[in-house]
């Protein structure tokens, strides 16, 4: 019986020893893992700090290479810091900057032959935003300058109307037309026949109502842009 008790006590002691060893190994493993993380962070911070310049002293921090134990994995160097100047606004090179549209000059021509029957300004208590050129139905109407057709169709009092946008951003309008020969989006050249004179819309007889709209502005007096009639 005594020998059996001794054997039992040894077995119990051995179990306690096994538990103690297991706990000790676990603690050592956690300690080594924590030590590895700390060393990894320390080395990473050293690399970052080595790239930072001291603004006040104009000196650069220097860090000696760290010696890692065999349990620390190899650390890849951090990418270089971005060059701030690369992302800052750069001065504009005036030599390559496109000229303002306002600087471009358009030499308009008269859009139709006929009699000038109405000028720009107040008429019958309303603003007349263009000039009227009267002639017989079917008289050719030409583009006053090169451009692109931005509207072709009907529009209330204007009747059948064509708008042409020009290279300087200005717009010319041709209204009360009888027949159109261009379509929306079509490029036209100065002097090209785009319509025939008519009397559509609010009109008392066949004529062309012609307007000039400078860039971003309302209609102005076309007579200040058209050449003198010889």
pLDDT digits (tens, 9 = 90+) for 85-132: 443 444 433 333 333 444 457 899 999 999 999 889 887 777 888 999
Which segment of 19-28, 84-93, 158-167 scores lowest on mean pLDDT? Answer: 84-93
What CA–CA distance (Å, rounded) separates 25 from 31? 10
What CA–CA distance (Å, rounded) separates 120 from 218? 13
Longest dimension (CA), the chain: 144
| pLDDT score at 46 | 52
Single pTM value for the model: 0.55
Please, are residues 201 and 176 in contact by the beta-carbon 8 Å criterion?
yes
Contacts of 177 by beta carbon, 8 Å cutoff, 6+ apart: 141, 159, 160, 161, 162, 195, 196, 197, 198, 200, 208
189 sits in which H/E element: none
Q: What number is the average pLDDT over the span 129-139? A: 95
| pLDDT score at 189 | 98
Please, are residues 161 and 208 in contact by the beta-carbon 8 Å criterion?
no
Q: What number is the average pLDDT over the span 15-22? A: 58
| pLDDT score at 3 | 46
Higher-confidence residue: 86 or 19? Answer: 19
Q: What number is the average pLDDT over the span 203-219? A: 90
Residue % of the chain over a pLDDT of 90 = 44
Query: Which residue spans within 37-158 are E strands per DSSP?
Result: 115-118, 121-123, 126-128, 131-134, 140-142, 147-155
Q: Strand 171-175 to strand 207-213: parallel, antiparallel, or no bridges (unpaired)?
A: antiparallel
Secondary structure class of 152 (helix, strand, coil): strand
| pLDDT score at 128 | 86
The residue among 230, 228, 158 whose CA lies nearest residue 195 is: 158
What CA–CA distance (Å, rounded) separates 141 from 196? 6
Fold of 106-224: Glucose Permease (Domain IIA) (2.70.70)
| pLDDT score at 122 | 80
How many Cβ atoms sit within 10 Å of the Cβ of residue 106? 18
Query: Which range in 31-40, 61-70, 121-130, 209-218 is most confidently predicted, on average pLDDT?
Result: 209-218
């Amino acid at each position: 019986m005594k020998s059996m008790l001794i054997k039992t006590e040894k077995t119990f002691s051995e179990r306690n020893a096994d538990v103690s060893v297991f706990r000790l190994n676990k603690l050592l493993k956690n300690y080594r893992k924590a030590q590895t993380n700390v060393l990894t962070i320390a080395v990473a911070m050293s690399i970052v700090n080595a790239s930072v310049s001291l603004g006040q002293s104009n000196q650069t921090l220097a860090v000696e290479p760290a010696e890692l134990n065999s349990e620390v994995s190899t650390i890849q160097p951090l990418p270089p810091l971005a060059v701030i100047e690369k992302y800052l606004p750069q001065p504009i090179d005036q030599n390559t900057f496109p000229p303002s549209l306002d600087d471009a000059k358009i030499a308009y021509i008269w859009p139709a032959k006929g009699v000038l029957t109405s000028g720009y300004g107040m008429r019958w208590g309303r603003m007349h935003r263009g000039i009227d050129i009267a002639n017989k139905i079917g008289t050719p109407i030409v583009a006053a300058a090169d451009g692109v057709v931005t509207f072709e169709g009907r529009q209330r009092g204007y009747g059948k109307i064509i708008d042409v946008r020009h290279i300087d951003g200005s717009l010319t309008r041709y209204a009360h037309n009888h027949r159109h020969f261009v379509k929306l989006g079509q490029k036209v050249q100065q002097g090209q026949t785009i319509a025939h004179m008519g009397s559509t819309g609010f009109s008392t007889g066949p004529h062309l109502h012609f307007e000039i709209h400078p860039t971003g502005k309302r209609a102005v007096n076309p007579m200040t842009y058209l050449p003198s009639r010889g």
